[in-house]
A and B are shown apart, each in its own frame.
Chain A
Amino acid sequence: MYKILSAEKLNAVIYKMVVEAPLVAKHCLPGQFIIVKVGEEGERIPLTICDYDRKAGTITIVFQPIGQSTQKMAELEAGDAFDDFVGPLGRPSDLVETPIEELKKRKMVFIAGGVGTAPVYCQVKWLHENGITADVIIGCKSHDILIMEEEFKKVSNLYVTTDDGSYQRKGMVTQCLSDLIDKEGKKYDWCVAIGPMIMMKFVCKMTEEYGIHTVVSMNPIMVDGTGMCGACRLVVDGQVKFACVDGPEFDGHKVDFDGAMKRMRMYKTEEGREILKKQEGDTHHGGCGQCGGDE
């Protein structure tokens, strides 16, 4: 069992937990992920590592409940434990394998969307510890769901943009990026974008025009996370890759995002059905238009 040392609700939709997992904390690097499982009946859920403390033997995870399993996770409190907490999984970010001198020459911008803000933190913090302060753009719907602002301010040059303009800049992350380049004279040659697939897709479209190399962290459906099933397969540069072992980071300009987004829909109906069944109980009659009722 892996003890939850702290569990807090960062805002209406996003949760943060610090979990005791010494072996993972000893070996993990930015860019890698873990898989958690709650209870004997639970499913295996992949989450990118947000932060780690080797000395304390802890891993920080940030997540947004969207399905039955993540809802159940959100109900856990400090003192509870995960049945399983597996990792580190996937390959570390290329940053950690690049000589620091090389990295210092790069003009880097990190773009984070929604809950993707958490894994960006892991990388930006690592850079800061190595003497590099990168630019970071965080995009969110509105001010009230912005997370980790203070943490980011300490380790990066932060730009926040909200869809509704309720805080700092207004508009999508792509708007912010083009403003920074075209209006504010910023120059970038390396971009790391982590967030919803649709966001990463549009960032990549834009950076391709600007000629900025772009790395994305893919988040497809996974089961084992160790390369034995291929549930997470996606097409990169015409080749089938397993995100859990070949990734999760890939060259964003080579990823088939439409194919990847299509595969995300695989269990939409099953998941939706389970949630409705739970929320509506006996009154569930198939109002979702998908499940055709309980039987």
Chain B
Amino acid sequence: MAVDMMKKVPVREQEPKVRATNFDEVCLGYSQEEAVEEAARCLNCKNPKCVEGCPVHINIPGFIEQIKTGDFKKAYDVISESSSLPAVCGRVCPQETQCEQRCIRGIKGEAVSIGKLERFTADWAKENGVKPTPAAEKNGHKVAVIGAGPAGLTCAGDLAKLGYDVTIYEALHKAGGVLAYGIPEFRLPKDKVVEKEIENVRSLGVKIETDAVIGQATTVDELMNEEGFEAVFIGSGAGLPRFMNIPGETALGVFSANEFLTRNNLMKAYRDDYYTPIHRGKKVVVVGGGNVAMDAARTALRLGAEVHIVYRRSEEELPARREEVHHAKEEGIIFDLLTNPVEIIEDEETGWVKAIKCIRMELGEPDASGRRSPVEIEGSEFIIDCDTVIMSLGTSPNPLISSTTVGLDINKRKCIIADEENGKTTKEGVFAGGDAVTGAATVILAMGAGKAAAKGIDEFIKSQNA
């Protein structure tokens, strides 16, 4: 078959009907032949725009050149210079708005499938036991990282490569942050990908202390004053769920997406051999339109429910990745757009959710930010019967660390104030990045922030010891 150079080499996926009944990964990834074929579409631009689109600036044409020649090990080494979590990023980055959006191929045809090639390279490295290269020697300086999510793991990995003695403190019993508790197995396999990727960070010499809730078990000030850490990076994320504050929200069967996903992903409640229970609804309404809403909806579907997504704007404004919306539709998720809940109705006898009352919306004129805000259509209330409601309205940073650290300033959205360039906060020696600074954003932006902070910390410690 002739290869159409204008189009991406298609990637194999599980059939929608089959995958809707299991938690196995949807996208199966490229084979070696497919990867080499797709790599051949890269024009190896002299001034590669794709690299600018990548928040951690991976040398994209560089690693793709190695795939072309079949040297996958070298391709992995090139990626490892910039990224500690390529198997994760290749899977969950919104490439369509980052590297792939800038690809020259994308002007007339389809962009090079950079994400899928990165994923292929990282998966190949894992299967062949290739690991990132640790620092030649330690420099004797200690840095503490709070939170083992994408920002913390990246910062720790980069510092370890520079020779620092790094300890990550993680509140949960498993490292990974949102990679472990938030993003489901069918998008990001836990044992095969997340655990292995964290193993790679450990292999650089990074120590990870789980079950350590900073702000409670110990504080940032104690780490610096008593434990001898010269700098601290805060990558504690934005894990505090929002609710709508509408009547009926404490009814049985109403969950935050965080709770629903944590039970399912971190505690593996969907498996019979794990002890944590999960409510398997028959008809589930997920409120919200982001990636987390898609994840919750597709999880509920796999647990056997009919699932509706209720979102107050139209399809165009859905904040979720296109690929995820497409997958959700293929699997049979029903989208109730321009719809907003006003009340949750509970069964008076049992206390369980029995329906959700919604109102239809229309989009008004664009506001100052250019976004058309939804306006209620008077008298258009209607009822959707359901037994489960999952609130996916976004999250904000947990105040536990900021409230227990002397001199660490936050803004009115409770986000830590930090310099974008180097992660510097208002407290000397303390750096921050990721969702703790920006509010809920993406995995790759958190990694970019972790990377910038690692550089900032390196410069800070060198200046202190000059």
Q: Which residues of A contact B (CB under 8 A)?
A: 23-24, 26-27, 37, 41-44, 68-69, 72, 83-89, 223-224, 226-231, 233-235, 240, 245, 259, 262-263, 265-267, 270-271, 274
Which of B240, B249, B279, B395 neighbours the largest number of chain A CB atoms within 10 Å of its CB? Answer: B240
Main secondary structure on A side of the interface with B: mixed
Asked whether B243 lies within 8 Å of A230 as measured between CB atoms, the reply is yes
Does A229 lie within 8 Å of B256, measured CB to CB? yes
Comparing B79-87, B112-120, B270-278, B374-382, the segment that makes contact with chain A is B270-278
Q: Per-position contact with A for B172-216: 1 when CB-CB < 8 Å, else 0?
A: 110000000000000000000000000000000000001111001
Please state if A240 and B275 are interface contacts (CB–CB under 8 Å). no
Contacting pair B275 A228 (CB below 8 A): no
Given A231-B255, A266-B252, A266-B279, 20 other A-B residues pairs in contact with their CB atoms under 8 A: A27-B218, A43-B276, A68-B275, A84-B173, A86-B211, A87-B216, A87-B217, A223-B263, A223-B267, A223-B276, A226-B239, A227-B400, A228-B240, A228-B258, A228-B262, A228-B395, A230-B258, A230-B259, A265-B252, A267-B279
For the complex, give the distance between the alpha carbons of A240 and B173 in Å: 27
Q: How many inter-chain residue pairs (CB < 8 Å) link A and B?
A: 108
Q: State which of A228, A235, A259 has its C-beta within 8 Å of the C-beta of B239.
A: A228
Knowing A266-B252, A271-B277, say if A27 contacts B243 (CB, 8 Å).
Answer: no
* Residues of A close to B279: CB separation below 8 A: 266-267, 270
Q: Are B277 and A83 in contact (CB under 8 A)?
A: no
Nearest CB on A from B300, distance (A) = 16
A66 to chain B, nearest CB (A): 13
B259 touches A231 (CB 8 A): yes
Q: List 26 A-B contacts (CB under 8 A).
A: A24-B217, A26-B218, A37-B173, A41-B268, A41-B274, A43-B267, A68-B275, A85-B211, A86-B171, A87-B216, A87-B217, A88-B216, A89-B216, A227-B239, A227-B400, A228-B239, A228-B241, A228-B262, A233-B250, A240-B243, A245-B398, A259-B250, A262-B252, A263-B351, A267-B279, A271-B277
In the A-B complex, list the 4 residue pairs whose CB atoms are closest, starting with the nearest. A228-B239, A229-B259, A270-B277, A43-B276
Interface residues of B (CB under 8 A from A): 171-173, 210-213, 216-218, 239-241, 243, 245, 249-250, 252, 255-256, 258-259, 262-263, 267-268, 273-279, 351, 395, 398, 400
Please, which residues of chain B bring their CB within 8 A of the CB of A23?
212, 217-218
Known A-B contacts A230-B258, A266-B252; the reply to A43 vs B173 at CB < 8 A is no
- Nearest-CB distance from B410 to chain A (Å)? 16
- Report whether A240 and B239 are in contact in the complex, using a CB–CB cutoff of 8 Å: no
Q: Is the CB of B400 within 8 A of A226?
A: yes
The listed residue (B171, B218, B243) touching A226 by CB distance below 8 A is B171
Q: Which residue of B lies closest to A86 (CB)?
A: B211
Check if A41 sits within 8 Å of B273, measured CB to CB: yes
Q: How many angstroms from the CA of A245 to the CA of B213 in the assembled complex?
A: 12
Contact B213–A89 (Cβ < 8 Å): yes
Residue in B closest to A234 when the chains form the complex, CB atoms = B250
Contact of B173 among A72, A83, A228, A234 (CB under 8 A): A83
Given known contacts A223-B267, A240-B250, A266-B252, is B217 in contact with A229 (CB within 8 Å)? no
- CA–CA, A86 and B273, complex, Å: 23
Q: Which residues of B contact A262 (CB under 8 A)?
A: 252, 351
Residues in B neighbouring A265, C-beta threshold 8 A: 252, 351
Contact A230 B256 (CB under 8 A): yes
Which of chain A's residues have a CB closer than 8 A to the CB of B172? 224, 226
Q: How far is the CA of A267 from the CA of B275 in the complex (A)?
A: 12
Name the A residues within 8 Å of B276 (CB-CB): 43-44, 223
For the complex, what is the distance from the CA of A121 to the CA of B407, rounded to whole Å?
36
Bound form: Cα–Cα A24–B218 in Å: 9
A274 touches B262 (CB 8 A): no
When C-beta atoms are compared, the residue in chain A nearest to B258 turns out to be A229
Rounded to whole angstroms, the CA-CA distance of A68 and B269 in the bound complex is 14
A230 touches B241 (CB 8 A): yes
Min Cβ gap B196→A in Å is 17
Contact B211 A27 (CB under 8 A): no
Residues of B within 8 A of A85 (CB): 211
Give the interface centre of B241, B277, B351 by most chain A CB atoms within 10 Å.
B277
Residues on the A chain within 8 Å of B256, using CB: 229-231
Residue among B256, B258, B259 facing the most chain A CB atoms (10 A cut-off): B259
B216 shortest CB reach to chain A, Å: 6
Partner of B275, one of A42, A83, A231, A235: A42
- Please measure, in the bound complex, the distance between the C-alpha atom of A128 and the C-alpha atom of B216, giving whole angstroms: 25
